[in-house]
Amino acid sequence: MALHATLLLASAFHAPGRVALQQTTVRSVITRMQARDPFVMPIDLGASGKGQLKFKPSFVSSEAVLVKYALPFELSVEQQSGKPVVTKDGPGGERVGDVLRYSTKWVQELPNARNDGVFDMLGSFGGLLKWKVNMFDMNKAQSWDDVVEALTSNTPDRTDSVTLVFERPGGD
């Protein structure tokens, strides 16, 4: 979007009479993005339970695609413009250009964690930590390593599958 806006502004210098029209175009795209309803999809994490995932679309026109793979799994993604983007169609339904939005991620937590520093510390020494699964939001990844860590946390000693949610950009 920023690149699109930059191109519009750059072309405005060459065509002064079109500035208002081009600014309106940028505003209408932003307004359409804000007006879209969030995606809401049921997520079944097997023995870990069921839930509902709700997230805002990243594109003016797109669809959410849920993919579940048995372990071990293969996924062809690479970092493009700071996002994990599919580079090879996969057997689960992801396609080139899809953006990986969520993945199951396994983390060690205390059962019924209270966010109490002393209790957390004692629990970690006492062996109370348990593996728990959550849906990791790739938009919150601080680095590419965070993306890799989320994907590789899905190991056979913790689970038998990985759940992935992609956003497939549509024609605008």
**pLDDT at 46 (0 to 100):** 84
**pLDDT at 48 (0 to 100):** 85
Q: What's CA 3's distance to the chain center, in Å?
A: 21
Exposed/middle/buried for 29, CB within 10 Å: 0-12, 13-18, 19+? middle
pLDDT, average across residues 134-141: 96
pTM: predicted TM-score of the whole model, two decimal places:
0.73
Tens of pLDDT, residues 33-67: 557 899 999 999 888 889 999 999 999 999 999 99
Confidence check: pLDDT of 29 > 50: no
pLDDT band for position 126 (cuts 50, 70, 90): low
**pLDDT at 74 (0 to 100):** 95
Domains in the chain: boundaries: 1-35, 39-169
With CA atoms as reference, report the closest residue to 27 among 10, 8, 13, 41.
Answer: 8
With CA atoms as reference, report the closest residue to 59 among 4, 105, 22.
Answer: 4
